Structure 1
Amino acid sequence: MPDFSFTLPHWAYWVGLIVFPLIAMVLARRPRPSVRRYSAAIAYMVLFTGGMLGLHRFYLRSLIGFVFVPVFLLILWSNSMETEARSVVSDLANEVRVAERTVEREQPRLDEARTQLEDLRAALAEAEAGSTRARLAQRRVDRVEASIPKSEERVTEAQAILDEMSQPLDQAEANRAFWGNAAGYAFWALVVLMVIDAILIPNLVRRANETITEETKTETEIALEKAEAESKKEDSEYAENWIDRLSLFCGEFVAYWAVIAVFVYYFEVISRYVFGTPTNWAHESMYLMFGMQYLIAGSYAMLTESHVRVDIFYAPLSRPRKAWVDLATSVFFFIFAGTLLYTSWIFALDAMAVPTGNSVVSDWARGNDNFLEMLGTFDLTQWTDPNIRWGEISFNEWEVPLWPMKWVMVMGGFLLLLQGISKVSKDIRAIARGA
């Protein structure tokens, strides 16, 4: 299998979180055609993201997509078997390495002991019987003679392991190579099929569009659609001022981050199980993204009343009475929102105060420089110098800066506070008007 290791650059992460929702919002506002037709652009996107599963064929209603599925499953099975074979190879190779090191360590000792034994015996023969020299020489001879059998035993056992493991190791390596080649051949087969389909997609889209017939809806379907449209309240109907419109925009903006998560986790699954190269950034980037999404969408959920609550006593009340209840309970809300905003501000400054390299931003966050001094000494090297990593960063290999997430907490608290002010103004108007 080809190497598919890839680490997402930090700048690409932030650009994607900003640019993708803007593009998605523009596309979502396009007028929808009265008759649904297949699009070559969407077909190519599906080919790029899910072509290995034949999803582009299913999108175009082609049963040939089922040809891709067993080949893809073969890749997964082959990679699984290769992983098991790799484990067996690793275990056998470790035993072989230990045996080789034993032979490398004990064989010179054994040869040296045998040579030394001859010299010691000669010295013992020359020594006077019963003398101190003779006793010392005898001790040396006894010690060397006792060590030789032990060394010979270790060398024999290690050599036996080498002889015993040689053939199983070769078989395990051959098994691993077989499954690796099987996965590689299946992968390149899918690549060839995808390239062929990339050429055929314009014609496939044309043929799929030719099969479309205008469907006539029954009176029951029309009535159901009309009832759903009347019961559903559009988000735009909640907007009464600029704060509401800001909350709606932020809520829609971060909603498209969920689509990014689909692509990222799909990439992680393919990288891990098809190419055997799991990423070191997918999980961290997504749970950080979902944390920011939760904070930013708080004001939107408050505006559209999407929060889960028990309103068995609240729901039957009239609008003015609801306004009185909301005003009374808003005290607790503003305590929470103010605390969130204040503590988030402290967290954000603390995150930027972490000194990593020569950073004027960290000096400002720690209070060593004032804001104007920080602006006067700030230049592009604060962004481009690899030795400067101002602010808190994560502890894993990706090392993404964490201080932007802390500032998103500030943004979320501020938006929530603004939405609370908007809600209070609406409640006051409802009480004043009596409706």
Structure 2
Amino acid sequence: MPGLSFTLPHWLYWVGLIVFPIVAMILSRRPQPKEKRYTLPLGYMIAVTGGIIGLHRFYLKNMWGLVYLPIFLFVLYANGQTQDARTILSGFANELRVAERTLEREESRVDEARANLEELQATYDAAEAGSFTQKSAERRLTRAQDTISKGEARLESARATLEEKAPQRDEAARTRAFWDDAAGYALYLILALLLIDMILMPSLVRNANNKLPAHEKMSETEAALAAAEAAEAPKTDAERAENWIDRLSLFCGEFVAYWAVIAVFVYYYEVIARYVFNSPTNWAHEAMYLMFGMQYLIAGSYAMLTESHVRVDIFYAPLTRPKKAWVDLLTSIFFFIFAGTLLVTSWIFAMDAIAVPSGNSVLSDWARGQIGFGEMLGGFGANQWSDPNIRWGEISFNEWEVPLWPMKWVMVIGGLLLVLQGVSKLSKDIREIARGN
């Protein structure tokens, strides 16, 4: 069974977090066709990401995707059998290794004891009866005899283990190889079917579109009903944005929302790598763990703008708008204490993260106060970006060793956005109170 050894480069991680949301936001703002149809780009994307279980066929409402499922399940079953055989093989190998070491150790000890046995017996016989010399010789003679008897017992047991376990080890090795090959052949079959579908994708999409029912225009009654429902719908996020701070929070919230889509792809890759290729990653969980932490911080201002935070409003909900504004104004004291503490603490964390001694990084030297800001800017060159001996600040303890200082600076950005959104909310409350209606 082939394995995967791919490790996500740090630069690709950050490029993905920045570029993917931008592309997704651009695509989401394209004019949507009135008639929903299957598209070739989406078909290929699903084939690349989920083709191994036939999702591209199901997307096109083609039941031939069911062919992929039993093959894929067989791959999972064969990999499970391979892992079981590997465990059994490892157990037999350990027993044989112990037996071989026992043979190697005890044979030399028994041979040495046998070689000295005649001399020890002669020394004992020549010693005066009851003397210290005779007692000492007797102890050495008894020890040599015990070494021989116990060593022979261990040798016999080790030889029996070798004779018994060696065939079992060989059988376990053959079983492991069989299931490993079976999983590999099944995977190659899926890849062959997927390659064929890649070639057939244009015709598959065309046939799926031809089977779509004719598009029916909406009647005047249905159009009027849809317009009434749209008028009664709650205020959209865009309608909540009244100033540049609101628009900034709205943009940041939408930007990081698309990170959840990245998580779907990464965890899908992790599952396939772990259970199909027996190659679990050392970066997927940490990458998503850090990403969701940054998402939580950046989305705080968006949640505040859209009033998405959880709160108990038994007494708040029945109030009039001016009274709600008074309540919000008074409770904003506690909000700014929290948001200000978050911002200051995050700034300290971020500065500490880049102040970690890290080679010849002028940025870390500046953060530790060893050089001034102007000297730091003047010291920047291509080597600060390309020299492998230079890293900026704190890194994770995982084998992936991703830099942690960018996450700490995202905490600063999240705290700043939250403070700004608090200022925007405060100004709205003051205006609401001034209106008094």
Residue 249 of structure 1: SS of its match in structure 2? helix
* Residue matched to 2:328: 326
TM-aligned CA deviation for residue 324 of structure 1: 2.0
**Equivalent of residue 342 in structure 1, options 319, 340, 344:** 344
Contact 1:353 1:363 in 2 (8 A): yes
TM-aligned CA deviation for residue 124 of structure 1: 5.9
TM-aligned CA deviation for residue 366 of structure 1: 1.8
**Equivalent of residue 255 in structure 1, options 243, 254, 257:** 257
TM-aligned CA deviation for residue 185 of structure 1: 0.9
* Residue matched to 1:9: 9
1:20-57 CA-partner distances (Å, limit 9, x unpaired): 00000000001111111111111111010000100000
* Residue matched to 1:274: 276
* Residue matched to 2:245: 243
CA distance in 2, matches of 1:358, 1:142: 68
CA distance in 1, matches of 2:221, 2:94: 71
* Residue matched to 2:74: 74
1:284-339 CA-partner distances (Å, limit 9, x unpaired): 11111111101101111111111111222222323222222222221111111111
CA distance in 2, matches of 1:110, 1:324: 94
Contact 1:324 1:431 in 2 (8 A): yes
Taking a change above 3 Å as real, the CA distance of residues 28 and 132 of structure 1, as seen in their structure-2 partners, is same
TM-score scaled by length of structure 1: 0.95
* Residue matched to 1:229: 230
Residue 63 of structure 2: SS of its match in structure 1? coil
Matches within 5 A, 1:278-317: 278-317=280-319
CA distance in 2, matches of 1:428, 1:279: 52
CA distance in 1, matches of 2:254, 2:127: 102
Residue 64 of structure 1: SS of its match in structure 2? helix
1:261-294 CA-partner distances (Å, limit 9, x unpaired): 0000000100111111111111111111111101
Matches within 5 A, 1:194-209: 194-209=194-209
Structure 2 stretches lacking a partner, 5+ long: none
Taking a change above 3 Å as real, the CA distance of residues 132 and 426 of structure 1, as seen in their structure-2 partners, is closer
Q: Does 1:109 align with 2:109?
A: yes
1:196-216 CA-partner distances (Å, limit 9, x unpaired): 101110111111111112343
TM-score scaled by length of structure 2: 0.94
Taking a change above 3 Å as real, the CA distance of residues 319 and 141 of structure 1, as seen in their structure-2 partners, is closer
CA distance in 1, matches of 2:113, 2:219: 100
TM-aligned CA deviation for residue 362 of structure 1: 1.7
* Residue matched to 1:401: 403
Q: Which amino acid aligns with 2:230?
A: A
Contact 1:295 1:413 in 2 (8 A): yes
Taking a change above 3 Å as real, the CA distance of residues 326 and 106 of structure 1, as seen in their structure-2 partners, is same
Q: Does 1:379 align with 2:412?
A: no
Contact 1:53 1:72 in 2 (8 A): yes
Contact 2:240 2:305 in 1 (8 A): yes
Paired-residue identity, %: 65
TM-aligned CA deviation for residue 129 of structure 1: 5.7
Taking a change above 3 Å as real, the CA distance of residues 269 and 358 of structure 1, as seen in their structure-2 partners, is same
Taking a change above 3 Å as real, the CA distance of residues 431 and 136 of structure 1, as seen in their structure-2 partners, is closer
* Residue matched to 2:166: 166
Contact 1:35 1:214 in 2 (8 A): no
Taking a change above 3 Å as real, the CA distance of residues 83 and 147 of structure 1, as seen in their structure-2 partners, is same
Aligned length: 434
Taking a change above 3 Å as real, the CA distance of residues 361 and 178 of structure 1, as seen in their structure-2 partners, is same
Taking a change above 3 Å as real, the CA distance of residues 141 and 311 of structure 1, as seen in their structure-2 partners, is closer
* Residue matched to 1:95: 95
Taking a change above 3 Å as real, the CA distance of residues 227 and 272 of structure 1, as seen in their structure-2 partners, is farther
Taking a change above 3 Å as real, the CA distance of residues 135 and 248 of structure 1, as seen in their structure-2 partners, is closer
* Residue matched to 2:85: 85
Contact 2:109 2:147 in 1 (8 A): no
Q: Which amino acid aligns with 1:32?
A: Q
CA distance in 2, matches of 1:200, 1:46: 14
Q: Which amino acid aligns with 1:148?
A: I
Taking a change above 3 Å as real, the CA distance of residues 105 and 317 of structure 1, as seen in their structure-2 partners, is same
CA distance in 2, matches of 1:297, 1:148: 76
CA distance in 1, matches of 2:310, 2:183: 48
CA distance in 2, matches of 1:129, 1:319: 115
* Residue matched to 2:64: 64
Taking a change above 3 Å as real, the CA distance of residues 164 and 240 of structure 1, as seen in their structure-2 partners, is same
Contact 1:44 1:201 in 2 (8 A): yes
CA distance in 1, matches of 2:92, 2:173: 10
CA distance in 1, matches of 2:398, 2:160: 44
TM-aligned CA deviation for residue 123 of structure 1: 5.8
Taking a change above 3 Å as real, the CA distance of residues 119 and 328 of structure 1, as seen in their structure-2 partners, is same
TM-aligned CA deviation for residue 369 of structure 1: 2.0
CA distance in 2, matches of 1:304, 1:120: 94
* Residue matched to 1:410: 412
CA distance in 1, matches of 2:380, 2:38: 52
* Residue matched to 1:351: 353
TM-aligned CA deviation for residue 140 of structure 1: 3.6
Taking a change above 3 Å as real, the CA distance of residues 356 and 106 of structure 1, as seen in their structure-2 partners, is same
CA distance in 1, matches of 2:145, 2:247: 93
TM-aligned CA deviation for residue 407 of structure 1: 0.6
TM-aligned CA deviation for residue 77 of structure 1: 0.7
Q: Does 1:39 align with 2:39?
A: yes
Please report the RMSD computed on the Cα atoms of aligned residues, expressed in angstroms: 2.0
Q: Which amino acid aligns with 1:229?
A: A
Q: Which amino acid aligns with 1:56?
A: H
